[in-house]
């Protein structure tokens, strides 16, 4: 009776399954037909007008998760379960239901029938064989938890360019689970007979990898408004996996046919595109009647919004240079110089109590830290009594004066901080080891000469230096709790390059979506920054058409145009960020090996999951403005590439990067350029690490 009932249950389940699958397929086809009909009706009533084009494109890439049930049907025969167990009679047919769950990726353009998709993940082919009866009239029962990790790439075809799609492709399956449970049931004619225990084990002689195929049909149902940039789609599907290539074992004839029913939830993001709707007719004339000079290039950069204020825990490097004024070997009074009785009150984490007499007003906290350079050094040397330093004074072709400058620094450390004189060596040089100018330079030599009048603090004691640095290197950084302020409410950068020698001046005509036009200029520089507030007023964001109108020396007019999305700076938000800096020498764009290790081993681990990293490159005011802009961008990109590589080596792709190069722009630079130390700090890349909101 038990055997007959089990066979009857399997037959009834197969009938029920076939009926349900028919209903699912029929429902998909009916919905598809209705959708096609609606599309056909709407096509006849919609007039395509460019001015009503959607702001966002339909996504081409879709990412999501697919899940469903595998209805597995067993055929063939299996009798030898493994080397230790062969059963009295072979099993032939069976069935079961297993889970399928894994990620899904699709690519298909909105106006194309063709696309590709990739499903993969956990793929259970579990089931129970139908009971068989051994010669002793004893029922035999066998079940298995057979499962794989499957990869299923497919070609996707949407015959009506609607939600209905058909897909087909190969299946590659990697064996994960091969266990079985077998039991020889007692003869029902002898109820008092002792029951044999279940035998649990693993099948032998299984194929570790299977190559088969699958074909299916699905239907995309959009869950979000199609005018939104972020789209969510629900897709029920049915697929068929024939037995070809699905023989689990290298022996006997057991094979599996699978029918899968399920659904996927997919996410896509459309590209932002500006509407041409509300630009009035005269702009359309400009679009076709502009004489274009291919030798002139025009671009607009509107950075994404950054909060006006952000709390920042900044790791600030301390330059190992003390700069001296022209004609003097005394330490300048802009440095914080304590009296002997004050050193016991000095604390590195309370530097704001020891302010210099002269501050530029910009980046006060950072300059307070730097101008306490000698006090930080004295405090650390007292705490580490085995450390030694060498002071190398350079006075621009006057080694005697350089020696005197070095002796001034030594005297302060010895007299005020009580450092043993034999721990400090002084040297006088004509030029620093790393001078502030390039060989053969002829411009701005006075500013470069100021940078060469300095005492360099060198040491072989690693406890005094920034991580992984040696010799002539920044000292160990200090940590500053600061409030990062945006330099402007918002700003937009305009760049004109190419045949600039032939361009006398240029203007910028900026028109919003409603046709309101503003004119800025004329300008003669090829790099101009305009506060976004002047363009936008109080608007939080907007889409603008920008036309550059240039006048050439031969009285011709050159016009170039582009579209840009601008965002106004928001008020302060309550979030905590981290900041690090990478310092560069004059005109240098390559990160040193020691700084590369610092970025890899110190900075990268501090980047939180799904965080944002904003990298900004800067220069001082020495050199050509255009060249400085390029140098700052090269510096920022160099740092970005190192961080990206380090994250990739750690298996991370969750970090978002924003990279800017601001050159010498005095509205955006971190420090003033009055003193050489400010200019040295402006030769840098600043890394802001912002956690996910």
| The predicted structure's pLDDT at residue 164 | 93
How does pLDDT run across 93-107, given as a tens digit for each residue?
Answer: 999 999 999 999 999
Higher pLDDT residue, 348 or 492?
Answer: 348
- pLDDT band at residue 128 under the 50/70/90 scheme: very high
For the chain, what percent of residues have pLDDT higher than 70? 80
Q: Above 80 in pLDDT, residue 250?
A: yes
Core vs surface per residue 434-467: b (16+ CB within 10 A) or e: ebbbeeeeeeeeebbbbbbbbbbbbbeeeebbbe
Is residue 52 included in any domain, yes or no?
A: no
Chosen domain end from 527, 547, 567: 567
Q: What is the mean pLDDT of the chain?
A: 82
Tell me the average pLDDT across 278-293.
34
How does pLDDT run across 429-459, given as a tens digit for each residue?
Answer: 988 888 876 655 556 778 888 888 999 999 9
508 shares a domain with 418: no
| The predicted structure's pLDDT at residue 666 | 75
| The predicted structure's pLDDT at residue 31 | 42
Q: Taking Cα atoms as reference points, which of 123, 127, 113, 169 lies closest to residue 149?
A: 123
Both tokens of residue 389? Answer: 């330093």
How does pLDDT run across 313-338, given as a tens digit for each residue?
Answer: 888 899 999 999 988 999 999 999 99
CATH number for position 451: 3.30.1330.60
Q: Above 60 in pLDDT, residue 353?
A: yes
- pLDDT band at residue 530 under the 50/70/90 scheme: confident
CATH number for position 498: 2.60.40.10
| The predicted structure's pLDDT at residue 437 | 66
260 close to 66: Cβ distance less than 8 angstroms: no
314 shares a domain with 299: no
Tell me the average pLDDT across 289-306.
56
Tally of domains in the chain? 4
Tell me the average pLDDT across 227-235.
87
Chosen domain end from 532, 567, 602: 567
Is residue 593 included in any domain, yes or no?
A: yes
Core vs surface per residue 68-102: b (16+ CB within 10 A) or e: bebbbbbebebbbbeeeeebeebbbebbbebebeb
Rounded (to 5) percent helix, strand, coil in the chain: 25, 40, 35
Higher pLDDT residue, 260 or 475?
Answer: 260
| The predicted structure's pLDDT at residue 362 | 58
Q: Above 70 in pLDDT, residue 306?
A: no
616 shares a domain with 600: yes
Is residue 54 included in any domain, yes or no?
A: no
* CA–CA gap between residue 196 and residue 454 (Å, rounded): 92
Q: Which long-range contacts (CB under 8 A, 24 or more apart) does 419-426 make?
A: 419/378, 419/381, 419/382, 423/381, 423/387, 423/388, 423/389, 424/388, 424/389, 424/390, 424/391, 425/388, 425/389, 425/390, 425/391, 426/390, 426/391, 426/393
Tell me the average pLDDT across 205-212.
96
Chosen domain end from 534, 567, 600: 567
The distance from CA 493 to its chain's CA centroid, rounded to whole angstroms, is: 24
For the chain, what percent of residues have pLDDT higher than 90? 45
Is residue 603 included in any domain, yes or no?
A: yes
In order of 79, 209, 510, the CA distances from 251 in angstroms are 10, 15, 76
332 shares a domain with 238: no
643 shares a domain with 597: yes
Is residue 53 included in any domain, yes or no?
A: no
**Segment among 117-131, 494-508, 612-626 with least mean pLDDT:** 494-508
Higher pLDDT residue, 576 or 351?
Answer: 351
How does pLDDT run across 3-41, given as a tens digit for each residue?
Answer: 444 444 444 444 444 454 445 445 444 444 444 343 333
Phi, psi of 236 (to 5 degrees): -70, 150
Q: Which long-range contacts (CB under 8 A, 24 or more apart) does 245-249 make?
A: 245/171, 245/210, 245/211, 245/212, 245/213, 246/210, 246/212, 247/76, 247/207, 247/210, 248/125, 248/146, 248/203, 248/206, 248/207, 248/210, 249/78, 249/203, 249/205, 249/206, 249/207
**Segment among 65-79, 391-405, 522-536, 679-693 with least mean pLDDT:** 522-536
| The predicted structure's pLDDT at residue 504 | 83
Q: Taking Cα atoms as reference points, which of 228, 247, 233 lies closest to residue 78?
A: 247
| The predicted structure's pLDDT at residue 570 | 59
Please state the pTM of the whole predicted model.
Answer: 0.50
**Structural domain harbouring 232:** 2-46+59-269
233 shares a domain with 183: yes
Phi, psi of 550 (to 5 degrees): -110, 150
Q: Above 70 in pLDDT, residue 307?
A: no
Higher pLDDT residue, 426 or 191?
Answer: 426
Is residue 277 included in any domain, yes or no?
A: no
Higher pLDDT residue, 138 or 47?
Answer: 138
75 shares a domain with 161: yes
Tell me the average pLDDT across 480-487.
59
The distance from CA 33 to its chain's CA centroid, rounded to whole angstroms, is: 42
503 shares a domain with 360: no
Is residue 278 included in any domain, yes or no?
A: no
252 shares a domain with 313: no
351 shares a domain with 298: no
Is residue 14 included in any domain, yes or no?
A: yes
399 shares a domain with 294: no
Sheet harboring 541-552: ordered strands across? 517-523, 503-511, 541-552, 557-567
356 shares a domain with 492: no
């Amino acid at each position: 009776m038990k055997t007959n009932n089990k066979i009857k249950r399997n037959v009834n389940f197969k009938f029920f399954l076939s009926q349900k699958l028919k209903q699912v397929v029929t429902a998909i086809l009916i919905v598809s037909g209705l959708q096609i009909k609606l599309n056909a009706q709407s096509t006849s009533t919609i007039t395509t007008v460019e001015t009503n084009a959607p702001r966002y494109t339909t996504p081409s890439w879709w990412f999501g998760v697919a899940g469903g049930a595998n209805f597995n049907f067993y055929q063939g025969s299996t009798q030898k379960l493994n080397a230790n167990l062969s059963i009295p009679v072979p099993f032939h047919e069976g069935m079961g239901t297993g889970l399928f769950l894994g990620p899904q990726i699709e690519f298909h353009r909105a106006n194309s029938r063709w696309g590709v998709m990739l499903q993969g993940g956990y793929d259970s082919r579990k089931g129970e064989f139908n009971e068989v009866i051994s010669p002793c009239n004893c029922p035999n029962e066998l079940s298995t938890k057979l499962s794989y990790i499957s990869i299923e790439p497919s070609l996707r075809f949407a015959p009506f360019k609607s939600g209905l799609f058909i897909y087909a492709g190969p299946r590659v399956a990697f064996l994960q689970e091969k266990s079985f449970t077998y039991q020889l049931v007692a003869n029902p004619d002898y109820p008092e007979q002792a029951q044999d225990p279940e035998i649990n084990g693993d099948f032998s002689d299984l194929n570790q990898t299977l190559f088969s195929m699958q074909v299916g049909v699905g239907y995309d149902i959009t869950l979000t408004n199609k005018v939104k940039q972020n789209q969510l789609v629900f897709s029920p599907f049915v697929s068929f996996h024939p037995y070809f290539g699905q023989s689990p074992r290298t022996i006997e004839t057991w094979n599996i046919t699978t029918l899968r029913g399920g659904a996927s939830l997919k996410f896509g993001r459309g590209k932002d595109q500006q509407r041409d709707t509300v630009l009035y007719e005269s702009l359309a004339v400009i679009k076709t009647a502009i004489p274009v000079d291919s030798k002139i290039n025009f671009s607009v950069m509107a950075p994404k919004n950054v909060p006006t204020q952000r709390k920042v825990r900044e790791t600030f490097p301390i330059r190992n240079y003390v700069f001296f004024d022209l004609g003097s070997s005394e330490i300048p009074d802009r440095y914080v110089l304590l009296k002997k009785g004050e050193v016991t009150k000095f604390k590195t984490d309370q530097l704001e109590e020891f302010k210099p007499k002269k501050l530029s007003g910009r980046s006060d906290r950072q300059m307070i830290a730097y101008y306490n350079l000698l006090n930080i050094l004295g405090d650390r040397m007292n705490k580490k009594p085995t450390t030694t330093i060498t002071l190398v004074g350079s006075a621009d072709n006057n080694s005697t004066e350089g020696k005197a400058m070095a002796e001034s620094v030594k005297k302060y450390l010895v007299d005020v901080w009580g450092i043993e004189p034999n721990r400090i060596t002084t040297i006088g040089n004509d030029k620093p080891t790393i001078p502030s100018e390039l060989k053969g330079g002829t411009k701005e030599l006075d500013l470069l000469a100021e940078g060469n009048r300095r005492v360099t603090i060198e040491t072989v004691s690693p406890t005094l230096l920034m991580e992984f640095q040696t010799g002539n290197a920044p000292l160990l950084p200090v940590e500053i709790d600061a409030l990062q302020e945006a330099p402007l409410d918002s700003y937009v950068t305009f760049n004109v390059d190419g045949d600039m020698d032939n361009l006398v001046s240029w203007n910028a005509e900026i028109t919003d979506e409603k046709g309101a036009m503003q004119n800025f200029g004329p300008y003669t520089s090829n790099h101009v920054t305009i506060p976004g507030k002047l363009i936008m007023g109080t608007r939080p964001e907007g889409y603008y058409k920008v036309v550059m109108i240039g006048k050439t020396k031969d009285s011709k007019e050159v016009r170039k145009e582009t579209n840009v999305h601008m965002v106004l700076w928001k008020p302060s938000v309550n979030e905590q960020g981290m900041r690090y800096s990478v310092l560069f020498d004059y005109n240098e764009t390559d990160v040193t090996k020691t700084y590369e290790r610092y970025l890899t081993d110190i900075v990268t681990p501090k980047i939180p999951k799904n965080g944002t990293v904003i990298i900004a490159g800067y220069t001082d005011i020495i050199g050509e403005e255009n060249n400085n802009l390029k140098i700052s961008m090269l510096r920022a990109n160099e740092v970005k590439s190192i961080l990206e590589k380090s994250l990739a080596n750690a298996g991370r792709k969750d970090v978002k990067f924003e990279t800017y190069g601001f050159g010498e722009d005095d509205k955006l630079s971190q420090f003033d350029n009055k003193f050489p130390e400010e200019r040295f700090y402006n030769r840098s890349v600043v890394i802001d690490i912002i956690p996910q909101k």
